[in-house]
């Protein structure tokens, strides 16, 4: 039995330390009791499991998996599962904490959770991926459930992975449990609109920011880093709204055209070749170069910590919409804020996914499903309300959108904790 080797992590700073420091800053600004901070900065539960997987060649690799619950003061915990070489416990803890704030900001009755396996899913065959997922589910089966902790897709996972988790859990329970996981395929209890939900939420936030800044969508030049589920749909939606998408990128690199990319051609090329490179009429750029392009809106939709103190002063975008979790380090955040860059923080800009996951969970429990226009209308209402609450708080307290968003969220979780009290 061997352990798969993983490359050096892309994380430059400890994400859990960042999350706790953000909490302390917000608590000081919003007057949250230090005793409550002592509770909220810790994760309720963190489980580390070994995931042995039989590979196609007969060898067995032992992988490390995680499932973390940060807080359940406002309801069962909710959060994605990611398969990525850089997954580590402190990253999962940070992501779980950010999920708590995200759910609270959006007014959803969930706490935060996260999970993952430290593996490169691109190096696994479909059969290996399924065996790994089913074994991981079996290892954490006592930690998850529709009234306890509800997983969802994240980086490196998709609807098929969620279907395997749903099936494994249901087979162990002896009956189908639709509410155990969200982001499922439509034919096994998934929700219309879930696939595009995170991108739709980001789009609604950008549209509101454009209105607040008296700009026009048709005048916007946009660069999107990351061409997975979030980035590809966001680029497509922005182009449909009249914006000029000048650059997009995936994990291998990006493409750029100052006059604008034809998103239909980009999507077709990506689907046909599996890559963005080689598209006629576009020049190749690196992910690092994309972040520094002269544009109005920059949407980092890939991984954490891509904008740091090393490149923040070179970022030319006027608005940054965080499609990924934690793409800007705290030091970079301050640099950008001092330069007047409007940052739409992750807990607001990419919350569309968890909102429609909530809708899917409700539909699964009721076994009654809604129409897609109904789902998108509800998503727009919730996202717009959260944006305006955050904007108003930022203006009243003369602070950034990030601190305003976190402040609203932390206060809501703190209030729920006070109301419930400590047991015993």
Q: Is 378 a catalytic residue?
A: no
How many CB atoms are located within 10 Å of the residue 207 CB?
18
pLDDT in tens, 235-284: 999 999 999 999 999 988 999 999 999 999 999 999 999 889 889 889 99
pLDDT the model gives residue 2: 47
CB 399, CB 29: distance < 8 Å = yes
pLDDT the model gives residue 278: 87
pLDDT the model gives residue 222: 98
DSSP class of residue 368 equals -
CA 372 – CA 193 distance, rounded (Å): 6
Lowest-confidence segment of 7-16, 86-95, 222-231, 373-382 by average pLDDT: 7-16
Alpha carbons within 13 angstroms on the beta-carbon side of residue 47 total: 18
For residue 123, say if its preceding peptide bond is cis, omega within 30 degrees of 0.
no
What CATH number was assigned to the domain covering residues 197-349? 3.40.50.720
pLDDT the model gives residue 347: 96
DSSP class of residue 141 equals T
* Average pLDDT score over residue span 63-76: 98
CA 275 – CA 238 distance, rounded (Å): 21
Whole-number mean pLDDT of the chain? 95
pLDDT in tens, 117-126: 999 999 999 9
Residue (of 201, 234, 213) closest to 349 by Cα position: 201
pLDDT the model gives residue 10: 62
As to burial, measured by CB atoms within 10 angstroms (0-12 exposed, 13-18 middle, 19+ buried), residue 25 is: middle
pLDDT the model gives residue 1: 44
* Average pLDDT score over residue span 91-113: 97
Q: Where in the chain is the domain with CATH 3.40.50.10860?
A: 15-184
Confidence of residue 13 (pLDDT cuts 50, 70, 90): confident
- Give me the DSSP letters along 131-161: HHHHHHHHHTTTT-BTTTEEEEE-TT--HHH
3-class DSSP state for residue 48? strand
| Residue 210 predicted with pLDDT over 60 | yes
pLDDT the model gives residue 11: 66
| Residue 81 predicted with pLDDT over 50 | yes
Could you report how far apart the first and last alpha carbons of the chain are, in Å? 45
pLDDT in tens, 296-343: 999 999 988 999 999 999 999 999 999 999 999 999 999 999 999 999
Between the alpha carbon of residue 184 and those of residues 153, 234, 324, 361, the distances in Å are: 9, 21, 21, 10
pLDDT in tens, 29-55: 999 999 999 999 999 999 999 999 999
pLDDT the model gives residue 342: 98
Which is more confidently placed, 230 or 4?
230
| Residue 8 predicted with pLDDT over 60 | no
Confidence of residue 149 (pLDDT cuts 50, 70, 90): very high
Q: What predicted TM-score, i.e. pTM, was given to this entire model? A: 0.93
| Residue 105 predicted with pLDDT over 60 | yes
pLDDT the model gives residue 6: 47
3-class DSSP state for residue 276? coil
- Beta strands 244-250; 253-256: pairing state: antiparallel
| Residue 135 predicted with pLDDT over 80 | yes
Topology of domain 15-184, CATH:
Rossmann fold (3.40.50)
CB 67, CB 87: distance < 8 Å = no
Q: Is 270 left (phi over 0), alpha (psi -120 to 50) or beta?
A: alpha
**Catalytic pick from 20, 78, 102, 114?**
114
Backbone φ, ψ for residue 123 (5° rounding): -95, 0
| Residue 352 predicted with pLDDT over 50 | yes
Q: Where in the chain is the domain with CATH 3.40.50.720?
A: 197-349
- Residue in the block written with tokens 């129409």: 371
* Average pLDDT score over residue span 398-408: 97
């Amino acid at each position: 039995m061997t352990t798969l080797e993983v490359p050096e992590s892309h994380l430059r700073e400890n994400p859990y330390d960042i999350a706790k420091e953000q909490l302390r800053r917000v608590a000081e600004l919003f007057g949250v009791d230090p005793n409550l901070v002592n509770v909220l900065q810790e994760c309720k539960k963190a489980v580390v499991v070994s995931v042995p997987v039989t590979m196609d060649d007969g060898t067995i690799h032992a992988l490390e998996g995680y499932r973390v619950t940060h807080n359940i003061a406002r309801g069962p915990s909710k959060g994605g599962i990611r398969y990525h070489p850089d997954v580590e416990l402190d990253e999962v803890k940070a992501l779980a904490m950010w999920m708590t704030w995200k759910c609270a900001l959006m007014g959803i009755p969930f706490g935060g959770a996260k999970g993952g396996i430290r593996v490169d899913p691109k190096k696994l065959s479909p059969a290996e991926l399924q065996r790994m997922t089913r074994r991981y589910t079996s290892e954490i089966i006592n930690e998850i459930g529709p009234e306890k902790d509800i997983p969802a897709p994240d980086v490196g996972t998709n609807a098929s992975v969620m279907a395997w988790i749903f099936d494994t859990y249901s087979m162990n329970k002896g009956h189908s449990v639709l509410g155990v996981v969200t982001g499922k395929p439509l034919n096994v209890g998934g929700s219309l609109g879930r696939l595009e939900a995170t991108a739709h939420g980001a789009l609604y936030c950008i549209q509101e920011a454009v209105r607040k800044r008296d700009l026009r969508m048709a005048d916007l030049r946009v660069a999107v880093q990351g061409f997975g589920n979030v980035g590809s749909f966001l680029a497509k939606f922005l182009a449909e709204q009249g914006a000029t998408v000048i650059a997009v990128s995936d994990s291998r690199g990006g493409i750029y055209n100052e006059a604008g990319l034809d998103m239909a051609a980009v999507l077709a090329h990506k689907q046909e070749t599996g890559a963005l490179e080689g598209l006629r009429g576009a020049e190749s750029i690196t992910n690092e170069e994309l972040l520094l392009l002269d544009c109005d809106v920059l949407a980092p939709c890939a991984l954490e910590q891509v904008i740091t103190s090393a490149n923040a002063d070179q970022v030319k975008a006027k608005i940054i919409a965080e499609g990924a979790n934690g793409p800007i380090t705290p030091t970079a955040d301050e640099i950008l804020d001092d330069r007047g860059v409007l940052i739409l923080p992750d807990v607001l800009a990419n919350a569309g996914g968890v909102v429609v996951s909530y809708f899917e969970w409700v539909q699964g429990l009721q076994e009654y499903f809604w129409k897609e226009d109904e789902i998108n209308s509800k998503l727009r209402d919730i996202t717009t309300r959260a944006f305006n609450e955050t904007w108003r708080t930022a203006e009243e307290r003369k602070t950034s959108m990030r601190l305003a968003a976190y402040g609203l969220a932390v206060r809501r979780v703190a209030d729920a904790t006070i109301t419930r009290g400590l047991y015993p």
